[in-house]
Amino acid sequence: MSDPDNPDRGKDNWFYDEVNPDLAQLHRVRRLVYSEQTEFQRLEIIDTVSFGICLVLDGRIQSSEKDEFIYHEALVHPAMLAHPSPQVVFIAGGGEGATLREVLNHRTVRRVVMVDIDKKVIDACRHFLHLFHQGSFDDQRVELHFTDARKYLKETTEKFDVMIIDLVEPLKEGPACLLYTKEFYQLVKRRLATNGIVSVQSGASSWTNLYYFTVIVNTLKSVFPIACPYQVYVPSFTDMWGFTAASQTIDASRLSPEEIDRRIAARMLKRPKSYDGLSHLASFTFPKHIRRRLAATRRIATDRAPVFIR
């Protein structure tokens, strides 16, 4: 893929996706669908041979047409189904609209507040990524705000049953570095209703990037009495991907496969493609070496000392 701003990236119609400074993957590209430098980040939408249409922000694939359902179902449904009756939901980020799509798949939802800092990303996704959002932005239950999520939560007094934090990784020069800190999670906690639960995109959980995942989980544990990490494999990321469900009262990991399947049948408009009771149980089960790293991590990300993805 030709990129005039970076001639070394994507030579001969390949997209160079840096997983970390020591590991990268290449995607053969059919065409560049859209490209723009917004106020906050580099936005690209590309059509790849292996994964179809992909949203790329600051050079990193955020989701792909072929497997986005794995990521978005894992992010949304454990928290939504763990809550007894989620009616008012907050989403931070989630520009593709796929997180919103999955939230709206729950019958109990009557209002969703979605906050994203970058209007140009959402405008592009609304236009080019209909397969992702499937018209969810036009649902009458949705209230969309273009501002910083932390600013919005500081200014509102509203309480939410479920909060979904679907942000880009905390790159040092990116827009989200102060949305992975103890102070931000304390603000989230204040905005949760009684028996509320938050789901946080927590980064790669494989051995190549384990440090950042364990710091995010440990930071959430410093704020919430219950913070349950879990993971799924996302093929377009070539990695296990981590999430955390945190609450003052709800332990999402304790729901049995049978109970998850019962709640899916009773409460969801469409059955998920990837997520069910058995996959729920599996996602909260970590191998021994990761359990040890999670238990040994002491670092807490703060505003004064945030964690950055290299």
Query: Does the active-site annotation cover 261?
Result: no
Annotated catalytic residue, options 118, 148, 166, 239? 166
Amino acid residing at 285: T
Other CB atoms within 10 Å distance of the CB of residue 220: 27
Q: Which of the residues are catalytic?
A: 166
